[in-house]
C-alpha cells in the first residue's frame, strides 16, 4: 500500500485548524503539529499511487490555509 509523509506549512496561527481538517481527509492516518521548518506532518496511505497523488494534490494541498507542502513517498518500510 503506497505511503507518504506530507510536510505542511500553514498560515500563521492556523495550525490547529489545518490539523482538524486533516482528520477529515480519507487516507490521512496520522497528523502531528510540530516545531521547525514545517508546521504539520501527515502520514498518508492509499490503495494505489494514483489515489495517493489525488489525496495529496486535491485534498491536502487544497485545504484552506495550507501554504505549501513537501511530499516524501516511502520506498521501504521497517517493521518491528
Q: How far is CA 79 from CA 20, 70, 74, in A?
A: 29, 24, 13
If pLDDT is split at 50, 70 and 90, which confidence band does 78 have?
confident
Q: Contact, 33 vs 19, CB < 8 A?
A: yes
CATH number of 3-73: 3.30.70.920
Tell me the DSSP string of 26-41.
TTEEEEEE-SSS-SEE
pLDDT of residue 57: 96
Q: Contact, 8 vs 41, CB < 8 A?
A: yes
Whether the full predicted model's pTM is greater than 0.85, yes or no, is yes
Per-residue pLDDT of 41-72, as tens digits, reads 999 999 999 999 999 999 999 999 999 999 99
Per-residue pLDDT of 7-53, as tens digits, reads 999 999 999 999 999 999 999 999 999 999 999 999 999 999 999 99
Amino acid at each position: 500500500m503506497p505511503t507518504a509523509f506530507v510536510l505542511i506549512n500553514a498560515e500563521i496561527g492556523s495550525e490547529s485548524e489545518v490539523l482538524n481538517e486533516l482528520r477529515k481527509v480519507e487516507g490521512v492516518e496520522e497528523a502531528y503539529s510540530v516545531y521547525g521548518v514545517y508546521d504539520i506532518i501527515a502520514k498518508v496511505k492509499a490503495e494505489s499511487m494514483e489515489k495517493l497523488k489525488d489525496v495529496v494534490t486535491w485534498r491536502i494541498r487544497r485545504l484552506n490555509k495550507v501554504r505549501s507542502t513537501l511530499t516524501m513517498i516511502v520506498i521501504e518500510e521497517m517493521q518491528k
